Structure 1
């Protein structure tokens, strides 16, 4: 079974679906503008290898009141859903066939904003978490590597108005990143919807 619209082979121990043009580009444009303007962006400091570092992107966490989430050593209390985010959530939930009770917004202002290697495998996400990633704005390269490996095995360009869905055992066997780039790129907004199964 072909799991990517791009000419990429299927990945062992992974279930991924890439849906380019998931929404109309004009609607995606309006979502992008509204969310960038209305979101109370934060740039938290993370304690990594004995030093504090500012997150190399802007973030916001929304969800149901119980959808607290710990990642990068910090507890994130959800902001309440806005009408727009709730509308987008319902569309995504219908597409993936399961409820979603939280979303992490990451705003990459330019090519120097990035996301390091990680898996979305926190205990509160349950055994085989579904992560639905909506991409708005500039295209960025999304890299995948096996857990325990340092070699990028596959890369995918995430385009405006596209949806990437990761499910099943993917997070146990694979890591992903959005690397820094010196290439000129437009600002990108990424919304990763998820279901917090075991609230903290």
Structure 2
């Protein structure tokens, strides 16, 4: 069963975790400016990654930014961090003040249209700690984002991530739930997603 919910400022998940949506966290003007910056001033890549034992080109563009010497290891890829841009540092500071935490890396995903997507995955690498705090920022087209129970595969909980929205995910979520940004046949303009995390030790394996 699939549920599309109004998730404004309350826990989206029925149990074993916490995911809270903050619509309009950034103003439309801020969001437009940030979107243009990330689209035009970030070095995007589309590398082959291991999926089910085979190398496939990722169905989206990615970029990895963070503290000096940060690395991201995933599905046969090693990404070395570009250093934070000034706009990204501004976003980071606002998120850290709001959620009273800190971040040392950010994975960016550029969904060019509805055919670009992110498959089911969990951000449960040991280097993120037992109960990681993860914050996702969306700029651009509104896209569906989904959670489902990791073992049972139901329920599927769907919500819309709008331009300038922020999704806070914490507590036991990565242990009990998996998440994705599904593809769609709808004609969509681009969307850029920023995922902020705190890595507790250098280098780890995870999903891109």
> What TM-score, normalized to structure 2?
0.90
Distance 1:57 1:133 in 2: 16
**Counterpart of 1:65?**
68
Shift of the alpha carbon at 1:76? 2.1
**Counterpart of 2:188?**
185
Shift of the alpha carbon at 1:164? 0.1
Shift of the alpha carbon at 1:68? 2.0
**Counterpart of 2:42?**
39
2:202 pairs with 1:199: yes
Shift of the alpha carbon at 1:73? 3.3
Moved segments of 4+, more than 3 Å:
6-10
Per-residue CA deviation, residues 109-158 of structure 1 (Å, 9 max, x unaligned), is 00000000001111111111111000000011011111123335210011
Pair 43,100 (structure 1): closer, same or farther in 2 beyond 3 Å: same
> What TM-score, normalized to structure 1?
0.93
**Counterpart of 1:143?**
146
Distance 1:173 1:139 in 2: 26
Written as runs of structure 1 = structure 2, the 5 A alignment for 1:46-85 is 46-85=49-88
Instruction: Count residues in correspondence.
Output: 198
2:90 pairs with 1:87: yes
Per-residue CA deviation, residues 45-64 of structure 1 (Å, 9 max, x unaligned), is 01222321100000000001
Distance 2:152 2:167 in 1: 23
Alignment RMSD, CA only?
A: 1.8
Pair 25,119 (structure 1): closer, same or farther in 2 beyond 3 Å: same
Q: Is the CA contact 1:6–1:156 (under 8 Å) kept in the aligned structure 2? A: no
Distance 2:70 2:172 in 1: 22
Shift of the alpha carbon at 1:7? 8.9
Distance 1:60 1:53 in 2: 17
Name the SS of the counterpart of 2:83 in structure 1.
coil
Give 1:163's match in structure 2, choosing from 163, 166, 172.
166
2:125 pairs with 1:127: no
Per-residue CA deviation, residues 82-131 of structure 1 (Å, 9 max, x unaligned), is 11111111111111111111000000000000000001111111111111
Q: Which runs of 5+ in 1 are unaligned?
A: none
Q: Is the CA contact 1:43–1:54 (under 8 Å) kept in the aligned structure 2? A: yes
Distance 2:129 2:78 in 1: 17
